[in-house]
């Protein structure tokens, strides 16, 4: 298991666009944690995932980082790992939640760690950033509000961040999980 830990610096570009719903989409509301706490979370998560991979007899390399005030754990390697992602990332979300619970059990504090398996989340982030930018540019040029399909909190945050890079538009969340979606509209 690789335990290289780096601090990636400031959070991704974020522009306040108002609204309690977007704030909830962007952050789970936990307080800032020290880098040492985040490194410890990553180590605990890495150990948990290593045991899980051993039980499943899956090959995988575990990499630990600290980015944007949260522990980030990536598992890459064998083709079996795709089974831990699922068709739309639903298995990945479940494994992430189990990993967070394992960290919480040991630390007593709710973890915000982010898990990526087989590069799925990184690829999805790129796709969603493109979707958010394209949608925002379309809304800026046409003035027509766009409602995107329901998304997970991770997906909504990526879209909100991408929309925030386009001037003249903003976004907010609408609905209740699992049907919560991003709405993009022109301002001014």
- Where exactly are the structural domains of the chain? 31-118, 123-186
pTM for the model: 0.74
> In degrees, to the nearest 5, what angle opens at C-alpha 166 toward C-alphas 160 and 170?
50
CATH class, domain 123-186, is alpha beta
Domain 31-118, architecture per CATH: 2-Layer Sandwich (3.30)
d(CA 9, CA 122): 18
* Both tokens assigned to 135: 């949608």
* Both tokens assigned to 35: 């880098």
d(CA 126, CA 171): 18
What is each CA distance from 34 to 39, 40, 68, in whole angstroms?
Answer: 9, 10, 12
pLDDT (tens, 9 = 90+) of the chain, 188 residues, equals 433 322 222 232 232 223 333 333 333 444 578 999 999 999 999 999 999 999 999 999 999 999 989 999 999 997 889 999 998 899 999 999 999 999 999 999 999 999 999 999 999 999 999 999 999 999 999 999 999 999 988 899 999 999 999 999 999 999 999 999 999 999 98
**115 close to 92: Cβ distance less than 8 angstroms:** yes
Question: What is the residue whose two structure tokens read 């789970």?
Answer: 28
């Amino acid at each position: 298991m690789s335990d290289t830990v780096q601090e990636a610096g400031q959070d991704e570009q974020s522009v306040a666009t108002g609204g309690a719903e977007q704030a909830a989409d962007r952050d789970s509301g936990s307080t800032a944690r020290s880098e040492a706490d985040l490194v410890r979370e990553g180590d605990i998560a890495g150990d948990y995932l290593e045991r899980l991979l051993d039980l499943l007899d899956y090959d995988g390399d575990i990499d630990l980082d600290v980015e944007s005030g949260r522990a980030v754990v990536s598992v890459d390697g064998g083709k079996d790992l795709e089974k831990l992602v699922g068709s739309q990332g639903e298995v990945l979300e479940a494994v992430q939640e189990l990993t967070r619970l394992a960290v919480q059990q040991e630390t007593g504090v709710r973890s915000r760690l982010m898990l990526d398996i087989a590069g799925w989340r990184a690829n999805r982030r790129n796709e969603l950033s493109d979707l958010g930018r394209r949608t925002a540019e379309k809304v800026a040029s046409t003035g027509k509000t766009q409602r995107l399909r329901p998304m997970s909190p991770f997906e909504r945050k990526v879209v909100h961040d991408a929309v925030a890079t386009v001037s003249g538009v903003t976004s907010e969340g609408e609905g209740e999980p699992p049907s919560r979606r991003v709405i993009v509209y022109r301002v001014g």
